[in-house]
Amino acid sequence: MDLREQEYVTVLAKHGNITKAAEELYVSQPTLSIFLKRLEERMGIKLFQYIGKKMVLTQAGELYVKRAKELLIIQNQFLGELSDLVAGYTGRIRIGTHIRRTSFFIPELLVKFEKNYPNIEIICSEISSEEMEKMLLEGELDIIFTNKLVSLDKLNVISIYKDKLLIAISPNNPACKYAVKIKGHEYPWLDLNHVKNNRFIIQDIEQATRTFTNKALAHAKVNPEKIFVIRNMEAASQLAAEEYGVAFTMASYAKYFSYYKPVNFYEVGAPDFFVNICVAYRKDFYLPTYIQDFISLIRKTFV
């Protein structure tokens, strides 16, 4: 199956720019421009129109891209099934994950996977939970590694591990003495009321960690008076170490935290609250053996 034409148009639609699309497709800009011109001439209709410098789909273009994505999904399923059939295992895995997680597990994972599947290409997109779920549903990704899903009715979900929300706090903070140990929990638990007068260093509203932080604040009935917003959770924990305030992060991030000043981590919110970190893929997606093994390696990485 050769769906190069459909792939070119969908990538053009994604970027709205010839240069960026050509870079992703590894073709020259003139080649892509000539391809689009000839395609539109052959079809007798415009697929794109220019609004300023951006290429925007026409109504015909929207219909084309919708059907092209469906065809590309079918092609990926076919190639996966065919690869299993011939057991030669050539293909690719397009994975979506958060940028902060790539440094924690991707290096070790890829090295192990390549030993068994040297001819499988891995393409990693480091994006937000919302973006990766959208790309997954549209057939632009094969699997995603995430802690936040919306369209559960359209996805198969494989639980990998249970993550916990933590507060990062300087060891010099008087609230540390109120932390209590809970049986079976890795970190002591702290009531947020003991730090309610501190500056709260929190993430942007669209970040998943901010959602979990808001739940913890609601559980403790704490309404922070002083807030500092920052996207980078590593920097947030560093600010906590510098006694600028108290910050929030996830346990999966905290174990990799490194700074020249110490910081204490405690669980917060409802003691039984956890975040399910999972791998998800579309229910209509054929899962080739090599992707199944890739998911198994992800699980082993977090054991």
pLDDT (0 to 100) of residue 95: 94
Q: Give CA–CA dist 303/300, Å, rounded.
A: 5
Which of 127, 166, 168 shows the shortest CA–CA distance to 148?
A: 127
Summarised one tens digit per residue, pLDDT across range 115-172 is 988 888 899 999 888 899 999 998 889 999 998 888 889 999 999 889 999 999 999 9
- pLDDT value of position 86: 63
Place of tokens 């199944």: 292
Q: What residue has token string 């510098």? A: 242
N- to C-terminal Cα distance for the chain? 39
Q: What angle do CA 133, 136, 138 make, to 5 degrees?
A: 110
C-alpha 297 chain-centroid distance: 18
Alpha-carbon distance of 66 to 3, in angstroms, equals 14
Q: What is the pLDDT of residue 4?
A: 86
The reported pLDDT for the residue numbered 85 is 58
pTM of the model: 0.67
3 state DSSP class of 49: strand
pLDDT at 2 over 90: no
| Residue 232, C-beta contacts closer than 8 angstroms, at least 6 positions apart | none
Over range 186-205, report the average pLDDT.
96
Q: Where are the domains of the chain?
A: 1-85, 89-154+287-302, 165-273
Q: What is the pLDDT of residues 244-286, one digit of tens each?
A: 999 999 998 898 888 999 999 999 999 999 998 999 999 878 7
Question: How would you classify the pairing of strands 275-282 and 143-146?
Answer: antiparallel
Query: Quick one: pLDDT at residue 172?
Result: 97
Instruction: For residue 256, count other CB atoms closer than 10 A to its CB.
Output: 10
Neighbouring C-alpha atoms within 13 Å toward the C-beta of 40: 16
d(CA 81, CA 133): 23
Please report the pLDDT score of residue 230 as a whole number: 96
Distance between CA 234 and CA 88 in Å, rounded?
42
What is the per-residue pLDDT for 88?
56
Residue 231 dihedral angles phi and psi, to the nearest 5°: -75, -35
Which region among 9-23, 30-44, 288-302 has the lowest average model confidence (pLDDT)? Answer: 288-302
What pLDDT sits at residue 296? 92
The identity of residue 146, as a single letter, is T
pLDDT, average across residues 178-189 = 95
Q: Write out the DSSP string of 27-77.
A: S-HHHHHHHHHHHHHHHTS-SEEEETTEEEE-HHHHHHHHHHHHHHHHHHH
What's the token pair of residue 65? 């891209």
Interior CA angle at 128 toward 127 and 129, to 5°?
A: 125
* Separation CA 93–CA 88 (nearest Å): 15
Question: 294 pLDDT band (50/70/90 cuts)?
Answer: very high
Task: Give the C-alpha separation, 246 to 199, whole Å.
Answer: 6
Burial group, residue 181, by CB count within 10 angstroms (0-12, 13-18, 19+): exposed
Give the residue from 159, 161, 160, 151 showing the smallest Cα distance to 284: 151
Predicted confidence at residue 106, as pLDDT, reads: 84
Residue 169, burial from CB neighbour count under 10 angstroms (0-12, 13-18, 19+): buried
d(CA 241, CA 169): 6
Compute φ and ψ for 39, nearest 5 degrees. -65, -45
At 87, is the pLDDT very low, low, confident or very high (cuts 50, 70, 90)?
low
**pLDDT tens digit string along 50-78?**
888 899 999 999 999 999 988 888 887 77
Neighbours of 58 (CB within 10 A): 14
